[in-house]
Amino acid sequence: MSWLPLSFGAPAVLFGLLLLPVIWWLLRLTPPRPQLELFPPLRILARVVRREETPHQSPWWLTLLRLLMAALVILALAEPVYNPRENVSTGGSAVAIVMDNSWSAATDWERRAATASRFIDDAADAGVPVILAFTAEPLNAEIGPFDAGAARDRLNAIKPQPVPPDRPAVYARVAGALEAVPGASVVILTDGLAEPGDRQAFEQLLGGDISSLVWVEPDSLPMIGLRTAENNARAFEVSAVRLPGDPVPAAATVGAFDDRGRRIADATLSFGPADSQAVAQFEVPFELRNDFASIAIDGQAQAAAVRVLDESSKRRRVGLISQAEGDQAQPLLSPLFYIDRALAPFADLVEAESADLTEAIPALLERKPAMIVMADVGTLPDEARAQLIEWMEGGGTLVRFAGSRLAAAENDEDMLPVRLRLGERQLGGSLSWTEPQPLTEFPASGPFADLTPPNEVTVSRQVLAEPTPDIVERSWATLADGTPLVTGASRGDGTLVLFHVTPQATWSNLPISGTFVEMLRRLVQLSRNQGSAEAGPEGAREALPPYRMISADGQLVPPSPEARPLEIMSDEQPVTIENPPGLYGGEEGVFAHNLLGREAALLPIDRPQTGIPVSSAAYAFDESQELRGFLLAAALIFMILDMLAVFWMSGVFAAARVRRRAANATATLAIAALASGLWALAPSPVLADDTRPGDAEAIAAITETRIAYVITGDSSVDAVSRAGLTGLSRFLTEKTALEPGAPAGVDVETDELAFYPLIYWPIDPAAQMPSPDAVARIDAYMQQGGTVLFDTRDQYSTGFGSDGASAATQRLRDILASLNIPPLEPVPPDHVLTKAFFIMQEFPGRYTGGPLWVESSLDADNSENRPVRTGDGVSPIMITANDLAGAWAIDNNGRPLLPTVPSDPLQRLWALRGGVNIMMYMLTGNYKSDQVHVPILLERLGQ
């Protein structure tokens, strides 16, 4: 389908569309053709079947809807893909993907990564290993072979680097890895820029047993790189390059930023048609230019579009040399005074510390000045002269002023821009008939061309140049009579300038004019610093730590861990992955390490000539979009529409209509089943089986409120306990809203106690003493809100006196000794227990007279003489000696099991009532103590 960017993953399924007529036929037959019957009493039947609503055939639009639905489902099954990606065959036993993640790949890295990911996907589909190498990565990086998942992870971890690709080394590694898998296919994802050594790199990579080559290069390379940034005399000049041969003119804005990232100047780069170079000038004041810290091209998010500047672009250091002994008392006569005053605002002045030129000049040159001003120095010592010439050839600017010494000195070709006549010329003196000469227009060839010649400046003495053929072009300023006032010549990379007058106002009034300042300033702009201040001779091999790096997208960022200190060497430093571009050094001084060198050019890469089958591809996002989901969703919507239509037709929406829709719904359901069958069955959720042993008992224990008793091991005691609690439960059921379950016997050693509100514990001295572990469990139970009712059942067997305790009481003491027992007291008359259900003061059991001990409510107050004291909580412990269970106990017929002592039926009743009160107290706490206040509360509310 060339007219539609559509492809199908399973085009064979499209033959299913041939089924559409069948489906149409089925739909027409659905509902099934009814049995035709002639039936005369139809009018009677019609009264039974109230309404006839189902036509023989579905309406055409419903059929169309269903056919569309079926067609959509079939189309969806065919896995249509919109905007399918082109398939480049990468057969072979392995796929080696060699990718440039260099600086020029940064702008559209996502697209490139997507392209690489596609190749990895293809390799995954083919089931072959992937060798994945990047040309701007450390050479020890892993290159595989990977499986597809690892390769994808690796690809995702890779970012473009602000360095040029290192193809030879990386290709050699890949070639080495390819030796292990002969017949592999190679995918080269280039950044499109040529690098030195490409040819050898490609030969090495493609020299092995390669089955095929896929060559991917970007469609266009719109990047612009900054080659130089120079602070010139008149403007700050940046030059930029782009790929040659681009017929489209291009313009870009260049911004200059200070060290805090603020934009302080703008300039425009204009590439003419087919131009590969352009120059932009920041014509801003000099002071502002010195604040430039970086230059960046707008809209170019790559490292070459950013250039960081170091000190060499900023204030110049100017060395001053004079042989005259300055008289500190007469500063105006010092030859350097006016120079000093003129240069101080925009240059760092370095004065020679020694008058001895053999010491002064080397000391000065160590400071790497941009310019050296020599005031009236005639001859130089040979050693110093040689150093000075070398410095000048290396780019220094030497400005000499004339004077009596120079006038008397011999001509020195190397140190003077023009040949001088011996002696000086005097104009307008008392022995001369000439007038002092004013300046004329500055020659257009010189750096002062745009200066306005001052009319107040006159020159009365000067040194004269020998007329030579090149005198005119070397004259930067001339007097009205045509004699040169300032001459200049380049010496190597440097410049030699001679003022034919003295630097003080003795020979002319030029030094005290504003023009002098302007001229010196221009000269300073011409000069260039010769290295950073820190890079002294002994520190030249010093390594500067990375300080601010240019990231791949052209931002200044803190250095990455990979960046290594930069060794400052004399020649231009290569930009490598270890030394990415950026500023090296520290706060006090930096060295700019930029991506593109002064002579750099951007050239398109050449596709290697090889005999291997080559297919090419372009970087592109994988914009293929699965349409299956949309189609299925559309089918689903159609299905809903169809169901609504069926409902509407069958009269669901009209209340009084007959509901016969099954036939129509059948077709819908069939299609729905078809559609739902397409989806892979989701794994049914698995419910965790968290049952644990004892759950059944726990559930039984908490399903009903149950009163528990401690199994002592003595069957007679346990039987009485059980019968007693049964009797109490029955009494509770009769008298109260509480209907307890069957009593639960618990073993304090093993059973969980937390389920029971009350545990009745008959103390049996014969029983085994509970283990410390069990006592600890009881303690925890009591602390967590449970209550234990200890019954010693020894009311009448206790002796008198402190040693008269019975065995049961003694056992109870033993047990309680290891429990945290609160202070106890007999139930006070105003305790809640006495009011919880029945109002009673005594708590008799089988025996009577024994007190019921409960937790002492020390802080409870009953200041207002209320019926019940207030207080929170439920006593965790109750102790009685009255054998409560014995009194409660009933047999199977409901008759009392044991006689009371004394035999008083009322005592048994009171015992049961006491049991009720205890249970109510257990379950409702101090509710009753609040409840008895209701009359008072009502009285208060009523007022």
Partner 1 sequence: MAPVGGAAAPVTTTDALARGRLRASLVPDLLVEARRVVNTVIAGWHGRRRRGIGENFWQFRPYVDGESHARIDWRRSARDDHIYIRDREWEAAHTVWLWADPSPSMLYQSAGASVSKQSRALVLALALAELLSRSGERIAWPGVTDPFAARDGAERLAARLAHIQSPSARPEMAHIRRFSDIVVVSDFLDPAEETQAWLGPLAQRGVRAHLVEVADPAEETFPYAGRTEFHDPETGERLTAGRAETLGADYRRLYLARRTELDMWCKRLGWSYTVNHTDRLASEALVKVHMAMTVDPGLGHGVHS
Task: Give the nearer residue to partner 1 in terms of CB position, either 37 or 803.
Answer: 37
Using rule CB under 8 A, residue 36 touches partner 1: yes
Work out how close the CB of 83 gets to partner 1 at its nearest, in angstroms, rounded to a whole number: 49
Structure tokens at 464: 């004269």
Exactly one of 4, 12, 52, 260 binds partner 1 (CB under 8 A); which one? 52
Task: Give the nearer residue to partner 1 in terms of CB position, either 35 or 716.
Answer: 35
Using rule CB under 8 A, residue 49 touches partner 1: yes
The whole-angstrom separation of Cα 590 and Cα 592 is 6
Sign of CA dihedral 636, 637, 641, 644: positive
Task: Check if the beta carbon of residue 464 is closer than 8 Å to that of residue 500.
Answer: yes
Task: Give the nearer residue to partner 1 in terms of CB position, either 30 or 104.
Answer: 30
Structure tokens at 761: 């514990």
**Helix (H) / strand (E) containing 743:** none
Task: Check if the beta carbon of residue 100 is closer than 8 Å to that of residue 134.
Answer: yes
The whole-angstrom separation of Cα 17 and Cα 29 is 19
Task: Give the nearer residue to partner 1 in terms of CB position, either 38 or 157.
Answer: 38
Segment contacting partner 1 by CB under 8 A, of 45-53, 223-231, 379-387, 795-803: 45-53
The whole-angstrom separation of Cα 763 and Cα 815 is 10
Taking every pair of Cα atoms in the chain, the longest distance, rounded to a whole number of angstroms, is 164
Segment contacting partner 1 by CB under 8 A, of 52-60, 163-171, 187-195, 834-842: 52-60
Using rule CB under 8 A, residue 46 touches partner 1: yes
Task: Give the nearer residue to partner 1 in terms of CB position, either 58 or 290.
Answer: 58
Which residue, chain included where needed, has tokens 């003295």?
Answer: 502
Residues within window 444-503 making contact with partner 1, judged by CB under 8 A? none
Using rule CB under 8 A, residue 660 touches partner 1: yes
Segment contacting partner 1 by CB under 8 A, of 5-13, 28-36, 252-260, 644-652: 28-36
Using rule CB under 8 A, residue 54 touches partner 1: yes
Exactly one of 8, 13, 31, 63 binds partner 1 (CB under 8 A); which one? 31
Exactly one of 2, 4, 18, 39 binds partner 1 (CB under 8 A); which one? 39
Q: Is 858 exposed, middle or buried (0-12, 13-18, 19+ CB in 10 A)?
A: exposed
Exactly one of 19, 45, 386, 780 binds partner 1 (CB under 8 A); which one? 45
Task: Give the nearer residue to partner 1 in terms of CB position, either 341 or 660.
Answer: 660
Which residue, chain included where needed, has tokens 């080269």?
Answer: 188
Task: Give the nearer residue to partner 1 in terms of CB position, either 34 or 942.
Answer: 34
Q: Considering just the CA atoms, what is the radius of gyration of the chain in Å? A: 53
Work out how close the CB of 54 gets to partner 1 at its nearest, in angstroms, rounded to a whole number: 6
Q: Is 682 exposed, middle or buried (0-12, 13-18, 19+ CB in 10 A)?
A: exposed
Task: Give the nearer residue to partner 1 in terms of CB position, either 19 or 662.
Answer: 662
**Helix (H) / strand (E) containing 235:** none
Q: Which of 785, 795, 723, 736 is nearest to 757 (CA)?
A: 785
Using rule CB under 8 A, residue 38 touches partner 1: yes
Using rule CB under 8 A, residue 651 touches partner 1: no
Segment contacting partner 1 by CB under 8 A, of 47-55, 255-263, 664-672, 843-851: 47-55
Segment contacting partner 1 by CB under 8 A, of 83-91, 294-302, 660-668, 868-876: 660-668
Task: Give the nearer residue to partner 1 in terms of CB position, either 48 or 737.
Answer: 48
Exactly one of 4, 12, 32, 680 binds partner 1 (CB under 8 A); which one? 32
Q: Which of 297, 344, 355, 294 is nearest to 322 (CA)?
A: 355
∠ at Cα 610 (608, 614), nearest 5°? 85
Task: Give the nearer residue to partner 1 in terms of CB position, either 57 or 277.
Answer: 57
Segment contacting partner 1 by CB under 8 A, of 26-34, 261-269, 577-585, 815-823: 26-34
Alpha-carbon distance values, 731 to 724, 840, 908, 914 (Å): 10, 17, 11, 11
Task: Give the nearer residue to partner 1 in terms of CB position, either 614 or 658.
Answer: 658
The whole-angstrom separation of Cα 930 and Cα 447 is 106
Written as one letter, the residue type at 739 is E
Task: Check if the beta carbon of residue 706 is closer than 8 Å to that of residue 744.
Answer: yes
Using rule CB under 8 A, residue 34 touches partner 1: yes
Using rule CB under 8 A, residue 48 touches partner 1: yes
The whole-angstrom separation of Cα 114 and Cα 117 is 5
Across the strands, what pairs with 231?
Answer: 236
Segment contacting partner 1 by CB under 8 A, of 48-56, 139-147, 393-401, 479-487: 48-56
**Helix (H) / strand (E) containing 51:** none
Work out how close the CB of 39 gets to partner 1 at its nearest, in angstroms, rounded to a whole number: 4
Task: Give the nearer residue to partner 1 in terms of CB position, either 93 or 666.
Answer: 666
- Collapsing DSSP states into helix, strand and coil, what is residue 110? helix
Instruction: Catalogue the long-range contacts made by 802-807 (C-beta closer than 8 Å, 24 or more residues apart).
Output: 806/765, 807/765
Using rule CB under 8 A, residue 260 touches partner 1: no
- Collapsing DSSP states into helix, strand and coil, what is residue 342? helix
Task: Give the nearer residue to partner 1 in terms of CB position, either 457 or 649.
Answer: 649
- Collapsing DSSP states into helix, strand and coil, what is residue 674? helix
Q: At what angle do helices 357-366 and 382-393 cross, to 10 degrees?
A: 20
Work out how close the CB of 59 gets to partner 1 at its nearest, in angstroms, rounded to a whole number: 16
How remote is the C-alpha of 501 from its chain's centroid? 66
Using rule CB under 8 A, residue 42 touches partner 1: yes
Residues within window 111-150 making contact with partner 1, judged by CB under 8 A? none
Exactly one of 3, 18, 40, 689 binds partner 1 (CB under 8 A); which one? 40
Task: Give the nearer residue to partner 1 in terms of CB position, either 40 or 683.
Answer: 40
DSSP letter at 135 equals: T
Task: Give the nearer residue to partner 1 in terms of CB position, either 42 or 180.
Answer: 42
Exactly one of 4, 12, 18, 43 binds partner 1 (CB under 8 A); which one? 43
Task: Give the nearer residue to partner 1 in terms of CB position, either 42 or 640.
Answer: 42
Segment contacting partner 1 by CB under 8 A, of 276-284, 484-492, 636-644, 659-667: 659-667
Using rule CB under 8 A, residue 47 touches partner 1: yes
Task: Give the nearer residue to partner 1 in terms of CB position, either 34 or 683.
Answer: 34
Evaluate the omega torsion of the peptide bond into residue 145 and state whether it is cis, within 30 degrees of 0: yes
Site residue total, partner 1 (CB under 8 A): 24
Task: Check if the beta carbon of residue 277 is closer than 8 Å to that of residue 241.
Answer: yes
Exactly one of 2, 3, 4, 41 binds partner 1 (CB under 8 A); which one? 41
Q: Is 468 exposed, middle or buried (0-12, 13-18, 19+ CB in 10 A)?
A: exposed
Work out how close the CB of 664 gets to partner 1 at its nearest, in angstroms, rounded to a whole number: 11
Task: Give the nearer residue to partner 1 in terms of CB position, either 33 or 541.
Answer: 33
The whole-angstrom separation of Cα 534 and Cα 582 is 17
Segment contacting partner 1 by CB under 8 A, of 41-49, 239-247, 552-560, 921-929: 41-49
The whole-angstrom separation of Cα 774 and Cα 746 is 12
Structure tokens at 602: 């951007």
Using rule CB under 8 A, residue 37 touches partner 1: yes
Using rule CB under 8 A, residue 663 touches partner 1: yes
Exactly one of 4, 12, 18, 56 binds partner 1 (CB under 8 A); which one? 56
Q: At what angle do helices 60-77 and 662-678 cross, to 10 degrees?
A: 10
Using rule CB under 8 A, residue 696 touches partner 1: no
- Sort strands 625-626 and 80-82 into parallel, antiparallel or unpaired: antiparallel
Task: Check if the beta carbon of residue 597 is closer than 8 Å to that of residue 226.
Answer: no
Exactly one of 332, 612, 662, 769 binds partner 1 (CB under 8 A); which one? 662
**Which ranges of 127-260 would DSSP assign to H, the alpha helix?**
148-157, 167-178, 198-206
Work out how close the CB of 55 gets to partner 1 at its nearest, in angstroms, rounded to a whole number: 9
Residues in touch with partner 1 (CB under 8 A) = 31-32, 34-49, 52, 54, 56, 660, 662-663
